[in-house]
Structure 1
Amino acid sequence: MRSNMKILVIRFSSMGDIIYTTPVVRCIKKQVPNAEVHFLTKPVFKYIYDNNPYVDKLLLLKPSLSDTINEIKAEKYDHIVDLHNNLRTAIIKLRTGIKATTYKKQPIRKWLSLKFKLRLVAPTHLVDRYLEAAKPLGVNNDGKPIDYYIKAEHKLSKLLPQSHQNGYIAFVIGATHFTKRMPNEKIISICKQLKLPVVLLGGNDVKANGDIVALAIGANIYNACGLTSLDESVYLVSKAESIIGFDTGLTHIAEAFNKPIVSVWGGTVPELLGVQPYMVKDVLVAGIRLDCRPCSKFGLEKCPLGHFKCMNDMPEDNIISFVNR
């Protein structure tokens, strides 16, 4: 009989949700005596756990769920911590017969909160909700931030112009859905009032937006959108004096570096999902109270009412004063 406990933690998606599993994995590894910790996710999110010292093995979801189940059976786990709680994880638990504990999603409460603008979901952070599923293993919150490990050695001199190498603000302007992003005019207005140079970060999908902002402001802005890899973008975030970002993965990853963060929320709200900045000392959560907000859990391609007040009417002064201190 082996002396170590072999534990599988499961979360398939998405970037932000998987980022918030890292404290759970760390706590299990450090607090369960001789624990061997494995993590199962989709191949596209493998990078989140690359180089993570608290994971002994990374399993990747296969095209056939049966193949994944066979791999899990072969590993002979003592316990599964299911942090996804969907049909596939239910099938995995049923067909493997492994003892498991499961994250409580509260889907009905979330739906009612969204549909009728009620406050039925306690503003408990997702990390703490995840940790509830690990409590039966004797695991407690260690009070430390999320973990993210940069994959390679990078240099500011190779990624930024000279004008931005002695201090800058990282502005994450990308987000999957329109209702999570500020309009270009709003970004321009804020950037014009910032004391330090600004580096715009995001993917190819917002490169044109970044070009518009950079053209309006000039040399004080460097548009890195679409020019840097995710790892390079994370490195740039880690070296910034402060970060402004929307409800998107890179902004959540930034929390690992405990830099001052302005977390800007439009059509979505952090308390519904429990994803406000976690264990960051210096935070401003920016968002305005409206009868129509939130309009969705994860963002939409356009404002359902057409006015987009949640971003258009967002006060700028508190964001600017927070970053300019």
Structure 2
Amino acid sequence: MKYLIVGPSWVGDMVMAQTLFIALKRQHPEAIIDVLAPGWSRPIIERMPEVHSGIDMPVGHGSLNLTLRRRIARDLKAQRYDQAILLPNSLKSALIPWLAGIPVRTGWRGEMRYGLLNDLRVLDKAQYPLMVERFVALAYPEKSPLPSPLPKPALSVDRHNVARALHRYQLSDDAPILALCPGAEFGPSKQWPAGYYGEVALTMAQKGWQVWLFGSEKDRAVTHEIMGYLPVSLQKRCFNLAGQTTLADAVDLMSLAHAVVSNDSGLMHIAAALARPLVAVYGSTTAAHTPPMNDNSEILWLGLECSPCFKRECPLEHMNCMNQLGPERVMDALERLSGEQTLEIQG
């Protein structure tokens, strides 16, 4: 079997898509799996041993650009895929597999895709509440039972690049590392307050830990604010990597973390797929849909009457779902996950 997977456009979704690849390989160990996805996702795809190759999708998420899609489809047609599986629900995502003449084109009914897909599934959200269940279900005939337990994303690590990245960013792993991921691409409603991250960073730095701050260039302001909560004498233990690392370097460096604290974000799913001890902070969203899938994580969520709202910004303008979840809750979770490592370390 030769599969073309049309991948999702978000970091977390791409990580969770590995569950589908694992399910396909369990059924067909010799299967060839190629993934058509945005170019930024290649460092993640390359860390999935189930994937044969990643194919860059140069057409933006909201762009039709039918001429370019036809050109891509022509190139893919020569690869003679047996089946295409589409993870996005958009009409545009179904065009290339159809134009490429792939015999079986599988996906959930989304925008008007009748005719473009010939293995069109109707999603029962109650039956498949988890995103990973919706991905894995597409690996099996319709209405087939899902494997239990579900496959877990497990990214491989480039150990040679770990050493290069440590040198490149002037880091060391000679003391326990706390990775903090305070950003959220979706919007501010998913962001735990910078001051709370700052308190956690201060407490752990006082105990002898290093603090590595991860994120994109957009997160530089919040990571800089977090660093401001540490006195000058402790700032040497805190390293602001937001906007500095490539995605590949971020994955490999995070594999060194002894613990991670993260909002519900793509980096949270990366930390989980690296099996890092993880405290996942939820506010406007819920782990009932996209939880971290590692066994050594703890989910913190207040479950207020107004949440989950799934809004980019708090519609009530108070952010209680995050503001009322104090840093002591995270510190307690870190203690449970990390055990004796949170005791004070000399140095």
TM range (shorter): 0.7 to 0.9
**Residue 250 of structure 1 aligns to a residue in which SS?**
helix
1:316 matches 2:347: no
Paired residues for 1:69-84 under 5 Å: 69-84=73-88
State the alpha-carbon separation in 2 of the partners of residues 25 and 123 from structure 1.
Answer: 18
Measured after TM superposition, the shift of residue 121 of structure 1 is 4.5
State the alpha-carbon separation in 2 of the partners of residues 84 and 105 from structure 1.
Answer: 8
The answer to whether the 8 A contact 2:193-2:322 is kept is: yes
The answer to whether the 8 A contact 1:103-1:130 is kept is: no
State the alpha-carbon separation in 1 of the partners of residues 226 and 39 from structure 2.
Answer: 34
For the structure 1 residues 68 and 124, does the alpha-carbon distance in structure 2 shift closer, same or farther, using more than 3 Å as the test?
Answer: same
State the alpha-carbon separation in 1 of the partners of residues 50 and 28 from structure 2.
Answer: 12
1:257 matches 2:286: no
The aligned residue for residue 114 of structure 2 is: none
Instruction: Pick one of 210, 226, 233 that aligns with 2:223.
Output: 210
**Residue 262 of structure 1 aligns to a residue in which SS?**
strand
Residue identity opposite 1:263 in structure 2: A
Structure 1 unaligned blocks of 5 or more: 107-119
The aligned residue for residue 292 of structure 2 is: 277
Measured after TM superposition, the shift of residue 313 of structure 1 is 0.9
Measured after TM superposition, the shift of residue 33 of structure 1 is 4.8
Q: Deviations over 1:1-45 (max 9, x none)?
A: xxxx22212224111111111122133234315322221112232
The aligned residue for residue 114 of structure 1 is: none
State the alpha-carbon separation in 1 of the partners of residues 6 and 305 from structure 2.
Answer: 36
1:17 matches 2:22: no
The aligned residue for residue 133 of structure 1 is: 138
The aligned residue for residue 2 of structure 2 is: 6
Measured after TM superposition, the shift of residue 46 of structure 1 is 2.2
The aligned residue for residue 314 of structure 2 is: 303
Q: How many residues align?
A: 301
**Residue 217 of structure 1 aligns to a residue in which SS?**
coil
The answer to whether the 8 A contact 2:36-2:57 is kept is: yes
Residue identity opposite 1:198 in structure 2: V
Measured after TM superposition, the shift of residue 315 of structure 1 is 3.3
State the alpha-carbon separation in 1 of the partners of residues 108 and 203 from structure 2.
Answer: 43
State the alpha-carbon separation in 2 of the partners of residues 123 and 27 from structure 1.
Answer: 16
Measured after TM superposition, the shift of residue 321 of structure 1 is 1.3
Q: Deviations over 1:140-181 (max 9, x none)?
A: 56754313234552234653556x631121111122121111
The answer to whether the 8 A contact 2:83-2:102 is kept is: no
**Residue 263 of structure 1 aligns to a residue in which SS?**
strand
The aligned residue for residue 201 of structure 2 is: 191
The aligned residue for residue 345 of structure 2 is: none
State the alpha-carbon separation in 2 of the partners of residues 105 and 244 from structure 1.
Answer: 34
**Residue 268 of structure 1 aligns to a residue in which SS?**
coil
The answer to whether the 8 A contact 1:62-1:68 is kept is: no
Bigger mean CA offset, 218-227 vs 79-88 = 218-227
Instruction: Pick one of 248, 251, 267 that aligns with 1:231.
Output: 248
For the structure 1 residues 256 and 105, does the alpha-carbon distance in structure 2 shift closer, same or farther, using more than 3 Å as the test?
Answer: farther
**Residue 207 of structure 1 aligns to a residue in which SS?**
helix
TM-score between the two structures when normalised by the length of structure 1: 0.82
For the structure 1 residues 134 and 245, does the alpha-carbon distance in structure 2 shift closer, same or farther, using more than 3 Å as the test?
Answer: same
The aligned residue for residue 154 of structure 1 is: 162
Paired residues for 1:84-163 under 5 Å: 84-95=88-99, 96=101, 98-103=103-108, 121=126, 124-136=129-141, 140=147, 143-151=150-158, 153-155=161-163, 156=166, 159=169
TM-score between the two structures when normalised by the length of structure 2: 0.77
Instruction: Pick one of 16, 22, 26 that aligns with 1:26.
Output: 22
The aligned residue for residue 70 of structure 2 is: 66
Measured after TM superposition, the shift of residue 263 of structure 1 is 0.7
Which protein has the bigger helix share?
1
Residue identity opposite 2:199 in structure 1: S
Residue identity opposite 1:256 in structure 2: A
Identity %: 24
